[in-house]
Amino acid sequence: MLKLLNYPHPALRAKCKPLTSLDESVRTAAARMIELMYRHEGLGLAAPQVGLDYQMIVINFDGDPKNKEAELVAINPVVVQTSKAVEKDREGCLSFPGLYQDIRRPKGVKVQFYTLAGQLQEMTCSDLAARIWLHEIDHLDGSLFIDKMGDIARKASKKWLEQYIEDFEDDKKAGRLPPDLPKML
């Protein structure tokens, strides 16, 4: 059973491996990730956020669980191109509950990825959709949105980050972390 991992869990800093086969376990993990994304009111979720060490993300750009056609499972996604235009906008992360800061990201992006059926797809998008892609793909490289914060945002987030670390240590001591941590740790 997959569980959402919070910062500073080590799985969030791992560089994920490309998936080389699409079997039933991958499909099951994708379905469970979609459920978790909706339960935590997210727009996207990356495999390392649930302790998986491979390159898979799930997205629903409008966040509506009733809109199944808007759900996207992306395997081995790659950023092909980003726009030169950059914008600063409010961003959060399911692994940092309650923390939001303004983050600079390219306004547009072109990505390539495989579907669960193994078909190569390409998508070009801008604004919030581009931000979601870039945020989730960063997770696959072990990069977190706190790494993108400017000095002022980082200082404003200091107490939040200290609290996440304290909560993680308490959970670790109490044995409340998932028992089957990924092999990458």
Catalytic residue list: 136
- Three-state SS at 151: helix
Q: Is 162 exposed, middle or buried (CB count within 10 Å of its CB: 0-12, 13-18, 19+)?
A: exposed
| Chain centre distance of CA 91 | 12
Closest by Cα among 92, 97, 107, 102 to 144: 92
Distances (CA, A) of 153 to 145, 157, 158, 178: 11, 6, 9, 31
